[in-house]
Amino acid sequence: MKLAIILDPLEHIKTYKDSTFAIMREAAKRGHGLYVMEQHEVWLQAGRVLCRARRLDLIDDDLRWYSVEDPVVLPLTEFDAVLMRKDPPFDMEYVFSTYLLELAEEQGAHILNKPASIRDFNEKLSIAKFPQFMAPTLVSRDPELIRAFAAEHGDVVVKPLDAMGGASVFRIIESDPNLNVIIETLTALGARTIMAQRYIPEIAQGDKRILLIDGEAAPYALARIPKAGETRGNLAAGGKGVARPLSARDREIAETLGPQLKEAGLFLVGLDVIGDYLTEINVTSPTGMQEIAAQTGFDVAGMFVDALEKRC
C-alpha cells in the first residue's frame, strides 16, 4: 500500500508513546510506502485537492528516527489511504482541512477517518447520540441552568466542548465559593456553550480509553488514573496509564457503538469510559496504542494495519 499521513511536525513526535509512530512502524515493517505531510500542505487548485508529500523512511539512529525525501506535489487520490492524524485543537483551520479532505474523497481519495464524520462527532457532545450510556448531563451556555444542575446533583464536572487533554475541566460542588466565577469564565458570561456532568467517583479507578478499529474493540483499555489531588485522568494532566482487560460494561458500550461508528466512516475511535459511563468519543487523533502494547503484549498497531489492509 501507498499510505499518506497528515500529522504534526515530525520533530514533535514522541516516538516512545505516539500511536501514529506505532502505525507507521508497523506499516513500514510490512513493506508499505509511507508519505507524510502537514495540515497546511493540502490545498485545492484547479478543482483538484493536492498535497505536498514527502516519502518517509524510518531509521535506527540515536539522533533522528526518520529520513524524508524532497517533497513532491501529488493528488490525494494517488494514495491507497490517507490517514488524518493531526492532533487537536479542533479549530476553524481543522474544519477547513476536513472540507478539503471531503472534496478529495469525492474525487476518489480514501480518507480515514471520514472527514464529514470528524466534523459531525464533537468529541464530547456526540455521546448524546447514545443516551443509554451517559451520566446525567447538561449542555448549555445559560449560567442559571448550569447552577441549577450543580444544585441538583451536588458534585459536577464542567468543561468546554472544544478542549483536549483535560484543559479547563473543573470539578465543582454546589457550595463552592468559586462556582459563579467558574461558570462565568467557562461560558464567557453566557456566550459559550459548555458541558456539565454529574461527577463520577469511579474516576479514581481510571478514565478508560477503549480503542475501536473499524468497529472492533481492542481487548484492553488504557485506564488513565489521576495523580494525587487531581480529578482528571488525562495523561497530559499527569495521569498514569494502566492497561486493563475490557469489563463486561466496556464490551457492551464498544459492541453497541462499534457498528454505528464504522458505518459513519470512523475507522479509529477512542471511547472514554469512567465507571459504567461513556464520557467522550474521540475521533480526531486517538492514542494509547503503545502503552497497551507495552503492558499487555497485544499489538494494537498490528490490529490497525490488519484492518487497513483489508479495507484497501
Q: Which residues are catalytic?
A: 124, 159, 209, 224, 232, 272, 280, 282
Nearest to 75 by CA among 98, 108, 102, 97: 108
Q: How far apart are CA 160 and CA 139, in angstroms?
A: 10
47 burial (CB, 10 Å; 0-12 / 13-18 / 19+) is exposed
As a residue count, the chain comes to 312
Q: How far apart are CA 312 and CA 296, in angstroms?
A: 28
> Contact at 8 Å (CB) between 51 and 42?
yes
Beta bridge partners of 5: 36, 83
* Kind and range of the H or E run holding 224: strand 220-225
